[in-house]
Amino acid sequence: MLQAIREKAQGWIAWTIVILISVPFALWGIQEYLGVGGEPEVAVVNGEKITQRMLDQRVRDFRENLRFSLGDNYSAELFDDARLKPQVLNAMVEERLLTDSASDWNLRTGDAQARGFIVTVPAFQRDGRFDQQAYEAAVRNRGMSRVNFEQGVRQDLALSQLRSGIRETVFVTETDLSARVRLGAEQRTVRYARLPASSFIDQAVPSEEQLRRYYESNQDRYRTPERVQVNYLLLDASALGSLVDVNDEALQQYFRDHRAEFVAREERAMRHILITVAPGAGDDEVAKAQGKADDLLAQLRGGADFASLAQANSDDPGSAKSGGDLGWVERGLMVPAFEDAAFTLAKGDFSDPVRTEFGFHIIQVTDVRGGSDAAFADMRDKVEAAYRKFEAENLYFDYAERLAQSAYENSASLTPAAEALGLTVRTTDWVTRSGQLPAPLDAPKVMNAVFSDDVLTEGHNSELIEVGPQRAVVLRVAEHEAAGVLGFDQNRKTIESDFRRANASELAAQTGAKFLGE
């Protein structure tokens, strides 16, 4: 079994696939759990089919994961279909085998474990914390329901347990170790000659008959995949702001209704001296601590330097060395008793000793910012921008309904919907089933719609497809080319170039064999 795993993992692309298909990136490629029958199959594993659609979907998901993980280092040439499809198919076969093994061994992942993993995924976080709306939007944009997505996560985590078990039980025999040591210590002297195939290109001159024979025996090399061009209409709430009617009366009403949005939250710069009281301390200890706090407060009101007293007396290790400085603090960050006292002080004032669970605090507010009211005239530009955004979001839902209705009623063209709503019909470049449409069409559910029977075969407009927060598209296939083989005359230059390279390699190998025989 271990040898089989090693053989499947040969090559750096294979290792990349293993890494990216496993958790955490596998959660982007769970489409095949919803498999559909009646489609061309590319493999059967323990009686379960892997269809061409499943493979194409996984290749698209994997390529998208590569773009995300490699960023500017991504190269489309390195990850074309010819390289990816065999490796991805092997990974899918292995995953099916592992899934069956996990089921046989009753490996399960509970809801709590799955949820614990989901909240750690950066794509579902905002400002470093899990965000439920971001999570649901990301799953929805992948064309999945939360139930199916979380089922896939549980299955992937179970598979990761199995993979870990295999890795952690691998052992090396003494024979293997001894052989490795011997090989590592060996030294050899070699002579070599470089025979680049490019040096033999000019000698590999084909006849017409040779070219045609080469073409006939290598037609798979000249197959062209099915591909389409897509027309689409994009509806984006951010582009509707210019359509909003604006007047001072509406802006002033919006300002009154949303005044809090235009007032900066109040923050206070403060420092404190803490005299701790241990949990469960008796009355005498509490009284002693309060007496010390009262004495320090009297010194402060007598003109003593706050920072010096804090450095000498405060029991707060985090602020004592800096003279008790706590920096800028807004509401909600401190315990209630401390916060209530601090936010009632005027700038420069000292509080009476404040009792909290930590002990007694003497607080001084050194500065205040934010929290003041704002005049409409001073905030008009900001109010207008916010008002346009607010109204554009409301307008979006009306436009979305009208767009969906028009696209349905005029299913043979996008022009009526475009004219009715003032939108522009856009056209993509050619794309194959396993390719990637440009943003904002790069979600898998968009590609599924493009190659659906209703859109591709029947020639209808698609339904309204959400591609982001308050962004949606309606699309149709503009041009469609079926898969085929390029003709000999149409592709003669490429065929001759391929023939020359192949025969140049053979000539180089033959020359090398002669050298070895001498």
Residue 272 lies in a domain: yes
Residue 188 lies in a domain: no
Cβ 466 vs Cβ 495: under 8 Å: no
At residue 36, the pLDDT reads 42
**pTM given for the model:** 0.44
Report the C-alpha gap between 62 and 467 in whole angstroms: 19
Tell me the CATH number at 37.
1.10.4030.10
At residue 276, the pLDDT reads 93
Q: Are 53 and 201 part of one and the same domain?
A: no
Q: Taking each helix axis from N to C terminus, what angle separates 146-168 and 111-118, rounded to the nearest 10 degrees?
A: 90
**SS3 label, residue 437:** coil
CA distances from 360 to 237, 291, 334 (A): 53, 10, 14
53-59 contacts, C-beta under 8 A, 24 or more apart: 54/92, 55/85, 55/88, 55/89, 55/92, 56/433, 56/434, 57/29, 57/31, 57/32, 57/444, 57/448, 58/29, 58/31, 58/32, 58/88, 58/92, 59/84, 59/85, 59/88, 59/434
Nearby residues of 47 by Cβ (< 8 Å), 6 or more positions away? none
Structural domain ending residue among the three candidates 369, 391, 422: 369
Q: Is the peptide bond before 438 cis (omega within 30 degrees of 0)?
A: no
Q: Are 281 and 384 part of one and the same domain?
A: no
**SS3 label, residue 457:** helix
- The phi and psi torsions of 228 (rounded to 5 degrees) equal -140, 160
Q: Are 275 and 422 part of one and the same domain?
A: no
Domain that holds residue 37: 2-175
Residue 180 lies in a domain: no
At residue 85, the pLDDT reads 87
Q: Are 87 and 37 part of one and the same domain?
A: yes
At residue 275, the pLDDT reads 94
Q: Are 508 and 402 part of one and the same domain?
A: no
Ordered per-residue pLDDT tens for the chain, 518 residues: 333 323 333 343 333 433 343 333 333 333 333 344 456 888 898 888 898 888 888 888 787 777 766 766 666 666 777 778 888 899 889 888 888 887 888 777 777 777 788 888 888 888 878 888 888 888 777 667 788 888 888 888 888 877 777 777 767 788 887 888 888 888 888 887 888 877 777 887 888 888 888 888 888 788 888 999 999 999 999 888 888 888 888 888 888 888 777 776 778 899 999 999 988 889 999 999 999 999 999 999 999 999 999 999 999 888 899 999 988 888 888 889 999 999 999 999 999 999 999 999 999 999 988 766 667 777 788 888 888 888 888 899 999 999 999 999 999 999 999 999 999 999 999 999 888 899 899 888 999 999 999 999 999 999 999 998 889 999 999 999 998 888 888 788 888 888 888 887 888 888 888 877 76
Residue 475 lies in a domain: yes
Q: Are 207 and 268 part of one and the same domain?
A: no
Euclidean distance between the first and final Cα of the chain, in Å? Answer: 44
Tell me the CATH number at 313.
3.10.50.40
Q: Are 161 and 201 part of one and the same domain?
A: no
- The phi and psi torsions of 23 (rounded to 5 degrees) equal -55, 135
**Residue from 203, 205, 213 nearest 508 by CA:** 203
Alpha helices in 259-328, H assignment, sequence order? 283-301, 306-313
Query: What string of DSSP letters covers 360-428?
Result: EEEEEEEEEES-----HHHHHHHHHHHHHHHHHHHHHHHHHHHHHHHHHHTTT-SHHHHHHHT---EE-
Report the C-alpha gap between 273 and 387 in whole angstroms: 46
Report the C-alpha gap between 185 and 92 in whole angstroms: 40
Report the C-alpha gap between 250 and 394 in whole angstroms: 15
Within 322-400, strands assigned E span 325-330, 354-356, 359-369
Q: Are 400 and 496 part of one and the same domain?
A: no
CA distances from 306 to 122, 311, 345, 362, 463 (A): 44, 9, 16, 10, 68
Residue 184 lies in a domain: no
Residue 510 lies in a domain: yes
Q: Are 362 and 387 part of one and the same domain?
A: no
Q: Are 495 and 469 part of one and the same domain?
A: no
At residue 376, the pLDDT reads 76
Cβ 461 vs Cβ 414: under 8 Å: yes
Within 46-171, strands assigned E span 48-51, 125-126, 129-130
Q: Are 349 and 395 part of one and the same domain?
A: no
Q: Are 111 and 238 part of one and the same domain?
A: no
Bridge partner list, 472: 235, 466
Q: How many domains would you assign to the chain?
A: 4
- Cα-to-chain-centroid distance, residue 416: 36
- The phi and psi torsions of 273 (rounded to 5 degrees) equal -120, 125
Burial class (CB in 10 A: 0-12, 13-18, 19+), 65: buried
Residue 254 lies in a domain: no
CA distances from 356 to 31, 201, 360 (A): 54, 86, 6
Q: Taking each helix axis from N to C terminus, what angle separates 81-104 and 52-70, rounded to the nearest 10 degrees?
A: 110
Amino acid at 249: E
Residue 203 lies in a domain: yes
Cβ 342 vs Cβ 350: under 8 Å: no
Average pLDDT in the chain? 82
Report the C-alpha gap between 115 and 151 in whole angstroms: 11
For the segment 109-138, what is each residue's pLDDT rounded down to a tens digit? 777 777 788 888 888 888 878 888 888 888
